[in-house]
Structure 1
């Protein structure tokens, strides 16, 4: 059973490293999920090295693919939906979150704590907004996204970053490649959560770090009620006002409602083989930040 406790110490780090960890909303103590025995790391083909991710052109997107994903989360539907919103995606996010998205990204960077010279995989990177902030620390960042449209926009805006288009279930990187992996608001869009977490662990170095930021379950009853009854139904309306694809944000609201709460996601991370799994609520639990060690 997982219980509230004082901010724990990550293995190999001092407890002082967590000072100022909570950047938004009410501070919640970090919690640690129980560890479970695992059967070892998955061993998929080594694939490409990070140095090769920019080789070859990014394929063009299809204009005839569906742009409305469902909770079945078919890979092709998810990809084409994000292709359709790529150009205005960042602006829409800022409008819908009243600018809080910037603070959530800062929380991820501080929690990940990449060091100069380290190699970081920014998964579900979209157009690379989060990747730019991670790279500002001096780390080498590889932005990776399923959506070719997002990658195309990202390469145009940030030509200095080594974008690659890839499926999180079959990453084109060798085992034990990255010092850290971040995934912001993207894990929810993968049908096999545990499978994706295992694949992420495969490409992470031993004792490497994972930071997941995802919409979650608000903890105060009143905030939770308003969020589900007022805020989520308004997302498609706000998206249309921001000149984005409103039906894509119908899916966003549906996927948030169906997503596991903070504890359940921590348990899934442990099931996938991650260690020292902890989380902290941001903005009263509207967003949860999970971190773990490989």
Structure 2
């Protein structure tokens, strides 16, 4: 098993990420031309975690994305459904409360988190709307959500160049740096099939989030969507 298909069966996606866990963060830095670190910083700034807050970092992988929240003084729970990713994360950060969990059936009580976030993981969930509803359930009233996901460049010429990179340049580069390059073919396909910024905002609203807004990073390659749970 080296890649998943766009029907996103949970066991297939989890197996795919198990295979790429060891080199996942390095591969992302290479394939994003160094932008991945800037995107992580933008997520941390947008979440604006504060000391004493409780933050859920869903699709946390090896835990790298959770570090800024920990450094801000928040009690942070990194959660992922790939056991391979979690094992690698525990090897790197043995002190982290890494937790196995399915985004559509989270193992947490209602209203326990001040902020919930998911970076580059919602695209891999089989039932996106169920995941958005689960994030709402585990967030306290007045709490916030921050989604960071690949999106659609807003400038048409750039969008064309970007699409060519995804389908032609990304797989050969992945073969050089990844332990499972075919997995990145799936990732490229899933990025192209993902809803645009407005459609993603509408899905957040339909899940029950209020004050939904977004901003683009790197010309719309990535979008940060945010919302608040109604009081």
What's the TM-score, normalizing by structure 2? 0.97
Match of 1:143 in 2: 78
- Which has a greater percent of helix? 2
| Structure 1: 4+ residue segments shifted above 6 A | none
Shift of the alpha carbon at 1:237?
A: 1.4
Indicate the residue corresponding to 2:10 in structure 1.
75
Aligned counterparts, 1:251-290, within 5 A: 251-290=186-225
Whether 2:164 is the aligned partner of 1:229: answer yes
| Pairing 1:109–2:79 present | no
Q: CA deviation at 1:222?
A: 1.1
CA deviations on 1:185-210 (whole Å, 9 max, x unpaired) are 00000121111100111001111110
Kept in 2, the 8 Å contact 1:233–1:253? The answer is no
Q: Distance in 1 between matches of 2:42 and 2:63?
A: 16
**2:57–2:117 contact (8 Å) kept in structure 1:** yes
Matched, 1:187 2:137: no
For 1:129-168, what aligned pairs fall within 5 Å after superposition?
Answer: 129-168=64-103
Q: Which residue of 2 aligns with 1:244?
A: 179
Conserved? CA contact 1:92–1:244, under 8 Å: no
Which residue, out of 23, 26, 31, partners 1:91? 26
Verify the 8 A CA contact 2:57 2:118 in the aligned structure 1: yes
3-state DSSP of counterpart to 1:73? coil
Larger deviation: 228-237 or 105-114? 228-237
1:67 CA displacement: 2.9
Distance in 2 of aligned mates of 1:155 and 1:263: 37
Distance 2:10 2:139 in 1: 23
1:211-226 correspondence runs (5 A):
211-226=146-161
Which protein is bigger by CA-based radius of gyration?
1
Q: Deviations over 1:179-235 (max 9, x none)?
A: 001100000001211111001110011111100000000001111000012344322
Pairing 1:14-53 to 2, within 5 Å after superposition: none
What's the offset of the Cα at 1:243? 3.3
Query: Could you list the per-position Cα deviations for residues 224-253 of structure 1 after superposition, in whole angstroms to 9, with x for gaps in the alignment?
Result: 000012344322211111033111001001
TM-score by length of 1: 0.77
Question: Where do 5+ consecutive residues of structure 2 fail to align?
Answer: none
C-alpha displacement at 1:102, in angstroms?
0.6
Q: Distance in 2 between matches of 1:256 and 1:168?
A: 19
Q: Distance in 1 between matches of 2:35 and 2:202?
A: 27
CA displacement at 1:159 relative to structure 2? 1.1
* Counterparts of 2:37 and 2:227, CA distance in 1: 22
